[in-house]
Amino acid sequence: MLNIVLFGPPGAGKGTQSERLITKYGLVHLSTGDIFRANIGGQTELGILAKSFMDKGALVPDEVTINMLQNEVNKQADAKGFIFDGFPRTNAQAQALDDFLATKNTSIALMVALDVEENELKQRLMKRAEVSGRADDANPEVIQNRIQVYKNETAPVKAYYEAQDKFVSINGLGDIDQISERLYEAIDAVVS
Ligand code: AMP
């Protein structure tokens, strides 16, 4: 199995690049944000709970997020591997993911971060709001909060994978194809 964590702040391009990676490597894309939004759309209990956090730009509690992620992985018995997009976002989630994958005799091969500076992120998110219809993209205060939450709670996850010698960062600026090429290079270096 090939399991990759695609890492980076909101607006770094994780969703766009995940689409490329699943095609190139034949992996299953698991975006916790997308799964929460699908639950909000379906007005499930999980969706109603998640929405109350997402609308503020806060993280959904670890226990809820971890359980949901594990259920989604378990639905994909035939997967050759996964692109985890937007997960793990806390060290507790990273630890839970390692423990869970170990029960399946697999592990994370690499965390690849998309490096994009803050002003560019804000501009991208405001622009994305015009097409995404996401309330959390449209409100500057919520965007600021998401970036702050990223810095406080999510950025430390980098050190978790660095300690395992599994972290690499690439430049997330420029042409979408160029960024994909940088990602392929980083992934191929560990795969082959
Ligand atoms: P995203 O689509 O990745 O930008 O996520 C949108 C929102 O969903 C985030 O701002 C959080 O409120 C929530 N969310 C997504 N993934 C996670 C996660 N791994 N842990 C906690 N909350 C999450």
Q: Tens digit of pLDDT for each residue in 66-115?
A: 999 999 999 999 999 999 999 999 999 999 999 999 999 999 999 999 99
Q: Is the CB of 32 under 6 A from ligand 1?
A: yes
Q: Amino acid letter at 178?
A: Q
pLDDT tens, position by position, 146-188? 999 999 999 999 999 999 999 999 999 999 999 999 999 999 9
Q: Which one of the listed residues 37, 51, 89, 124 is annotated catalytic?
A: 89
Q: Give yes or no for a contact between 116 and 9, defined as CB atoms under 8 angstroms apart.
A: yes
Cβ of 89 closer than 6 Å to ligand 1, yes or no, is yes
Is the N-terminal amide bond of 88 cis, ω within 30° of 0? yes
* 17 within 8 A of 116, measured Cβ to Cβ: no
Distance 192 CA to ligand 1 centre (A): 32
Query: How far is the C-alpha of 79 from the C-alpha of 36, rounded, in Å?
Result: 21
> Looking at 35-49, 100-114, 124-138, which range is the least confident one?
124-138
Answering whether pTM is above 0.85, one says yes
pLDDT value at position 53? 98
- The pLDDT of residue 192: 67
Query: Does residue 37 have an active-site annotation?
Result: no
pLDDT given at position 191: 85
Positive or negative, the Cα torsion across 64, 146, 156, 74? positive
Has 56 been annotated as catalytic?
no
- 20 assigned to active site: no
Spatial CB neighbours of 46, under 8 Å, sequence gap ≥ 6 = 36, 39, 64, 68
**Which tokens sit at 41?**
């759309």
Percent of the chain predicted with pLDDT > 70: 99
